[in-house]
Structure 1
Amino acid sequence: MIKKHLNPIIIGKICSPYGILGWNKMFSFTENKKSIFKYSPLFYFKSNIINSLKIVQWKSIKNYFLIKIKNVNDRNTASLFTNKKIFIYSNQIQKKNNEYLWNEILLCKIFNINKNFLGIVVKILRTYTNDILIVKKNNCKEILIPFIKKKIIKRIHIKKKKIIVNWRE
């Protein structure tokens, strides 16, 4: 059973087998892609059971990695890991004061500096210049708010799930 109070965080995905010697392709969702290998232990679900994932070797290939999982030595066994999401628990991440994770921003209530409720963060888009909060209020259309600290994002209260922005409706 997953430990809900520890907040599981998906940080990658195992993809298709690669070759015949038990390697898999893997995508990392961490900001610095190689950071995924700093976390230990890694976990994945198999038949609704949490399992530890032991990566014994890895290679960087363009925008993904090749990984060798412990005791996986052939393509058929590697195929059993196809589309498995890799996760860690939030207590495995060491944060400094005033740091937060993107998943902590999700579902935060957004208020402008005039205390008007703008909606709830439903998604975060990564762009080349800056990230964008996608905010939705009831069933209305989405509001896109650039994540630019100080200029637009005035205050983030993670514990209160509240963000204050300099933004008009």
Structure 2
Amino acid sequence: MAEHSVNSEELVTVGRITSVYGIRGWVKVHSYTEPMENILQYSRWWLQNPAANPAKGVSQWQPLEIDAGKRHGKGLIIRIKGVDDRDIAAQFCQRDIAVVGGEMPQLDDGEYYWHQLHGLQVVSTFEGQETRFGEVARLMETGANDVMVVRGGDDGRERLIPYIPGEFITEVDLEAGVITVNWDPEF
């Protein structure tokens, strides 16, 4: 197999290989895409390399080819090309899957991928008072709506802010790296 390389900054984590499935080399995949099957549409996957050592020229990511993938129960299973043994497949488990961000579909105005929001500064303008809440540490699904976990800021607190544009999220400025919210600093 020819050696491939990719700049880590171009990659976006879209899932994780969690465990083996069966005895013929299939593995379970937890997809972060919505819907979950969208992860199967990417032509090239990159797998986190546990032996990464940039100082010695060992890349953090290695190419991963799959030759089959499908929904199974409430999740997904895939078969890695050239792997037909459970023990070999186990070596791929508990590792993140990434794709080149440029391969991701373009979104409509006002829509954002979670990775674009991660790390942005959050500022509240509740009742005309500007309060810095810190940065987006992560986002999570709750069923009703997504929630931003925001840490740091003027008071060092962690806040859970519903990601509801037009209600609590008043502006997202990717270039400035700021999300403006209408959220009471007491919460």
Query: TM-score, normalised to structure 2's length?
Result: 0.81
CA positional deviation for 1:3: 0.9
Match of 2:43 in 1: 40
Shift of 1:45: 2.8
Find the aligned partners of 2:102 and 2:73 in 1 and give their Cα distance: 30
Match of 1:57 in 2: 68
Q: Mark the runs of 5 or more structure 1 residues left unpaired by the alignment.
A: none
CA offsets, 1:115-134, max 9 Å, x none? 33222211212111111111
Contact persistence 1:106–1:122 (CA under 8 A):
yes
RMSD, matched Cα:
1.9
Equivalent positions of 1:18-167 (< 5 A) are 18-46=21-49, 47-48=51-52, 49=59, 50-98=61-109, 99-113=111-125, 114=128, 115-138=130-153, 140-167=156-183
Output one character per residue of 1:31-78: Cα deviation in whole Å (capped at 9) or x when no partner: 210000111111113332332221111231222212111111112221
Task: Give identity over the alignment, percent.
Answer: 27
| CA drift at 1:110 | 1.3
Q: C-alpha displacement at 1:158, in angstroms?
A: 1.0
Structure-1 separation of matches of 2:77 and 2:46: 17
Tell me, what secondary structure is at the counterpart of 2:97?
Answer: strand
Give the stretch that moved more between structures: 93-102 or 51-60: 93-102
Structure 2 gap segments, 5+ residues each = 53-58
Counterpart AA for 1:38: Q
Amino acid at match of 2:99: I
Displacement, 1:5? 3.7
- What secondary structure is seen at the aligned counterpart in 2 of 1:51? strand
Instruction: Give the TM-score of the pair, scaled to structure 1.
Output: 0.89
Distance, in Å, in 2 between the alignment partners of 1:146 and 1:88 is: 28
1:155 positional shift: 0.6
Q: 2:9 and 2:138 mapped to 1: Cα distance?
A: 22
